[in-house]
Structure 1
Amino acid sequence: MKKICIPVICCSLALTVACGKKVKETSANAESRMRQVEQSLEGVVPVEGEGKWTIEERMAFYKVKGLSIAVIDNFKIDWAKGYGFADAEEQRRVTTETLFQAASISKSLNGVGVLKLAQEGKVELGTDINTYLRSWKFPYDDVSNGKKITLANILSHTAGLTVHGFPGYQQGDSLPAIIEILNGTMPANSPAVRSKLEPGLRVEYSGGGTTISQCIVRDVTQLPYEEYMRTAVLEPMGMSGSFYNQPPPESRAALLATGYDYNGNVLNGKYHIYPEQAAAGLWTNPTDLAKYIIETQLSWAGESSKVLSKEYTQKRLTAIQGIAGLGVFLPTHGHDKYFEHGGSNAGFRSIYMGGIENGKGLVVMVNSDNDAILQEIVTSIANVYGWDGFQKPEPKKIVTLQPEQLQVLEGYYQLAGKKDAYLNFRVSGNQLILKQLWDGREVTFDPESDTEFFSRQFPFPLKFTKDAKGNAVQVLAFEKDIWNKVVNYDSTKSY
């Protein structure tokens, strides 16, 4: 087997680790690329006449305290760097070793762990999950329509199960056992994991389903989940800083990032605890996740098998339905296929992407509920490194409207066919403000015309329809949903 050297360039870009030997970093190219990425951020939707910002400027704009990045090029870490504060009050800065909650990225590494059991013949991906569940059995009912749920269903979110995600627990809360989580009994703060529709129909994202796989790993290996994942997955891939322990061990406290909300306020207790380890419990950093990406790329090519063989890596990166693989999503960008996942825990957001065959990749993690900066950094990296399929959209041109042109758009709009889904628009200057009724945050939209609007932070355009008198009657929002204007909306009335 060909031996491939994997250099890691730290923040200072002074040393490289190559084939076990420390050598001087002689290439200025990596530092040049890093500087270009740092200085080339633009809004998710670029605006005509606006310039570019630095990472620090966008962190301040989005009220993001800390951020960490690793970039992969040609199957190696080209550079990694931390920005801002892991904890602002302590003035503890982010380094490449700072640990963030990976949130749902945990599911990707969990997928590796489950496939390793399959590779060893301890489970089969197409067998009824109750074959391997010993401490708890899934309670099938009429909803599953006589079909059995398999591990392949669980990992690809095609099991038709409930419980999208988990809120976590604050410091000092009583933590539920895994069976209490699955049954939705106290002290669990999430509903029971049950069938929502029959397995195999479609992708229905379920962190609850992933938690069933956690129970299977524990029951099959007779080991604590975090111990199995450490010895079978994390350590073999060189992810020495990462762990699934919940709560995290005291010995790692100085490396943990503190979580902050959308407005930059510290979370009560600094972070939440997630006993749903497989779904949301991984603490890690971009450098460690980059090692996972590279190992996956090399294993796909048959160049490495630290955890999974080429055969099982290719199983993991083969779509089951749509773009859903086993613990990963598999979109195509340009001519290249990628494996990727995002993460969203209270106070933390993250994303990783790895080209299956092109040797490219990235990881971005923040200790914030505001994830808008992630896409800006992804776009900057993709453009600096010339990734196919990530070309920037044409800049938008903002027009100035008369007050009456905006005022007719104000009010409540109800989603067609839904009695409890509303959008509420109000005018502020030359902009429309959307108050998201699902979380209370506001999104600002600028006009391209008197009926078309765009947001600088989100790629979700609005297109209004007016009647013959110029009154707004509908809006096409998020490029797919029709919302009808509610005349004489009464907030005290049940609609």
Structure 2
Amino acid sequence: MKVIRIVLISFSIALSNGLSAQKLSEEIKHKIEKVENSLSPSVISGNKVPSYNILERMKEFNVKGVSIAVINNYTIEWAKAYGYADEEENRKADVNTLFQAASISKTINSLGFIKLVQMGKIDLDQDINTYLKSWKFPYEGLSKNKIITSRNLLSHSAGLGVSGFGGYERTAEIPDIVEILDGIFPANSKAVRSVKEPGIAFDYSGGGTVISQLILTDTSGREYEEFMKKEVFDPLQMTHSMYSVNDTLNVASGYYTDGKKVKGKYHLYPEYAAAGLWTTPEDLAKYMIECQLALQGKSEKVLPHKYMKERFTPVVNYNESKVALGVFLRYKNGVYYFNHNGGNEGFTCASYGSLDKGYGVVVMTNSNNQALMLEICNSVARVYDWDHFFVPRFSQ
């Protein structure tokens, strides 16, 4: 297959310092062009690494809109958006378009949760019912008389069910958190209960993350959105991050893999901590940079080194990766990267960051197709020569 290389022109560029767009150096422009023309899957048919063009792959995969932020040397080197926030409305995506972060919401939730630990309001190793006031977890026989801790909740080692949530159409009746946890109408998910004893294995549970959301609000005495804005978003200058949106905002509409739009444009997720964050790649990149710097003791905008390190300390293994507190340490060919990906109705996203070298990437799309976002991550890793990230495997 002959690959046509196309030089793409940026819709807009917003730099990490929050100032208006500035002229990029020729070197960075060249890197952007290379990223746009170096997409590749990790498993390759044949014996040659392809270099696909981003616009061609968007068309091939039926992806309407993509937004990217690239971190290099602990700064956001560039950000760029492609395609449409809503194709039918002819609304182009730009770097300020809000996408659903889906399960990346969990990693941001853990940052706020550990802030309560730093404040001395929560002990990660105490029974969660110590902190739950408006609802108590109903222990049953499957828990084997073991307590569930907040450390278990944040690391998916609590032995709980309900891996994910489908969201709600915008015209639907929206359940409250207790109704979600008990699986009571109008909740459309099952009750969050034990499926095995806690502390022995990894079982991905968005339900467990929702319990952490209730602990946060019960313990802080504040609304979830209010707490996260004051303790996380404001210190990190995540000015485009929120849990409630409306049609006056620059929000993306979700699309399925066949290119059809989600009914009502997008679903609502009252499970804020697990799946409800709306944000941009730049805002998530700010979070990632803060993690990188705090791990080195060079910043403490939200958490000092001690607590950020605890957040990144593995609790349980999952395949070749390790699971910390709201953070996956993803094993890539001999090197660990910190990571969280996500998928909601009509949205997918990915984030990868180096633990000690100050680089990373965030990709957000308004499509259920995951292939493109992963190919973009590979392209960034190729162009920026990330350590062992892109090591393709060949199949005949």
TM-score between both structures, scaled by the size of structure 1: 0.74
Query: Are positions 1:87 and 2:86 aligned together?
Result: yes
Q: Which amino acid aligns with 1:266?
A: K
SS of 2:44's partner is: coil
Aligned to 1:259: 254
Partner of 2:185: 186
Q: Distance in 2 between matches of 1:102 and 1:186?
A: 26
Aligned to 1:96: 95
Match of 1:32 in 2: 30
Is the 8 Å Cα contact of residues 49 and 392 (structure 2) preserved in structure 1? no
Residues 146, 23 of structure 1: alpha-carbon distance in 2 compared, 3 angstrom cutoff: closer
Give per-residue Cα distances to partners, 1:38-77, cap 9 Å, x unaligned. Answer: 0112344333368532100000000000001111111011
Specify the alignment match of 1:455 in structure 2: none
Letter in 1 for 2:180: I
CA distance in 2, matches of 1:80, 1:16: 7
The alignment's C-alpha RMSD in Å is 2.0
Bigger Cα displacement from structure 2, 372-381 vs 343-352: 372-381
Amino acid at match of 1:313: M
* Whole-Å separation in 2 of the counterparts to 1:216 and 1:58: 43
Distance between the aligned counterparts of 1:300 and 1:184, measured in 2? 38
* Matching residue's letter, 1:207: G
Aligned mates of 1:50, 1:121 — CA distance in 2: 51
Residues 347-386 of structure 1 aligned to structure 2 (within 5 Å): 347-386=346-385
Cα separation, 1, equivalents of 2:74 and 2:58: 29
Matched-pair contact (CA < 8 Å) for 1:11–1:79: no
Structure having greater relative contact order (Cα 8 Å, sep ≥ 6): 2
Q: In structure 2, the residue corresponding to 1:236 is in which secondary structure?
A: helix
Letter in 2 for 1:69: I
Shift of 1:15: 7.6
- Name the larger-Rg structure: 1
Sequence identity of aligned pairs in percent?
48
Equivalent position SS for 2:76: strand
> Within 5 A, what are the aligned runs for 1:283-298?
283-298=278-293
Give the TM-score taking structure 2 as reference length. Answer: 0.92
Greater shift in the superposed pair: 48-57 or 184-193:
48-57
Alignment match, 1:309: 304
Give the equivalent residue in structure 2 for 1:107.
Answer: 106
| Deviation (angstroms), 1:334 | 4.8
Kept in 2, the 8 Å contact 1:336–1:358? The answer is no
Aligned partner of 1:76 in structure 2 is 75
Task: Kindly provide the amino acid, as one letter, of the partner of residue 328 in structure 1.
Answer: V
Extract unaligned runs of 5+ from structure 1.
Answer: 1-9, 397-447, 449-495
Name 1:277's counterpart in structure 2: 272
Q: In structure 1, give the amino acid aligned to 2:214.
A: C
Would you say 1:55 and 2:54 are equivalent positions? yes
Paired with 1:146 and 1:182, the residues of 2 have a C-alpha distance of 20
Local SS of the residue matching 1:154? helix
CA-to-partner distance for each residue in 1:432-489, whole Å, 9 max, x for gaps?
A: xxxxxxxxxxxxxxxx4xxxxxxxxxxxxxxxxxxxxxxxxxxxxxxxxxxxxxxxxx
State the SS of the aligned residue for 1:341. Answer: strand
Quote the offset at 1:391 in angstroms: 3.5
User: What is aligned with 2:223?
Assistant: 224
